[in-house]
Amino acid sequence: MSLCELATSSPVRDKQTARCHQSAMVELQDVSKAFVLHQQGKRQLSVLENFSLSVAAGECVILRGVSGAGKSTVLRLVYGNYLLDSGEIRLHMGHHPGPFRLAAAHPRQIAAFRRRYIAYVSQFLRVVPRLPTLQVVMEPALRCGIELAEAQDRAEQLLDRLGIGRTLWGLPPATFSGGEKQRVNIARGFVAQHPLLLLDEPTASLDSRNKGVVIGLMREAKRQGAALLGVFHDEEVICQIADHVVEMEPMQNDE
């Protein structure tokens, strides 16, 4: 149950296309996804069926449901590390005349599109071992063409806000505590100010001060017109940032 008064749509398999408006930045239409597990005698595991969703600029949509409901699958389909079986995912970003159609794009185009427009923020930091923290954080900004001085400025501000002390900036995060790594990863996710943020429980296990910082960062991103699509279990976070909550339920898969 939601603690706050939000428009909650359920069940998920109802089409939400009625909610699609002009400024939609992310559109999923009738998306289906199943995994065929060849190692398990070709067992088919259906995760999404005819799932539709849209996220507008400046809007935050939260996916909620028990584990196995397919919440992270939705994020990964939008990021392109899961292939979709049917349906369509359209991304409207930048100054491009038409939408970016994920299923039709060459992997190379998806890689370039991601670098420029999408941040995937999870709890887990996965980077090359020896890079100093400040570089780790600056990197996504540099890779989408932001000037060095500006990237450094942004990275320093983010690290400051997230309570990563200056003495740690020159060290690689490999030796940091779990919480510190997680905050470095969050800084890395926000530094490029991408127009689409995919958030996979980035606040899980953060203390309340840092949780507040992340909520602040997400609000700023919304104000700048970013679209946020996230998985959060924390009701407090959901109340503070969600414009819309989508309830998801696991599909029935015969064993």
Partner 1 sequence: MISDTSIGMEPPILSARKLRYDYGNGKGIANLDLEVFSAEVLAVVGESGSGKTTLLKCLSTHLTPQSGSLSYRSGKGEPLDILQLSTAAKRELLRTDWGFVHQHPHLGLRMRVSAGANVGERLMANAWRHYGDIRSETGRWLDMVEVDPSRIDEAPSLFSGGMQQRLQIARNLVTRPRLVFMDEPTGGLDVSVQAKLLDLLRRLVFDLDLALVLVTHDLAVARMLADRMIVMREGEIIESGLTDQILDDPQHPYSQLLVASMLAA
- Closest distance to partner 1 from the beta carbon of 1 (Å): 32
- Closest distance to partner 1 from the beta carbon of 55 (Å): 19
Q: What is the DSSP letter of 251?
A: P
Q: Which is nearer to partner 1, 82 or 176 (CB)?
A: 82
Q: Which is nearer to partner 1, 76 or 233 (CB)?
A: 76
- Closest distance to partner 1 from the beta carbon of 104 (Å): 6
Q: Which is nearer to partner 1, 21 or 143 (CB)?
A: 143
Q: Which is nearer to partner 1, 117 or 190 (CB)?
A: 117
Quick one: which of 137, 42, 27 has its CA closest to 87?
27
Handedness of CA 54, 60, 61, 67 (dihedral sign): positive
Q: Where on the chain is the footprint of partner 1 (CB under 8 A)? A: 35-39, 76, 80-83, 96-101, 104-113, 116, 126, 128-131, 143
CA distance 109 to 143: 15
My answer on whether omega of the bond before 11 falls inside 30° of 0, hence cis, is yes
- Residue 8's Cβ-count burial label (10 Å; 0-12, 13-18, 19+) is middle
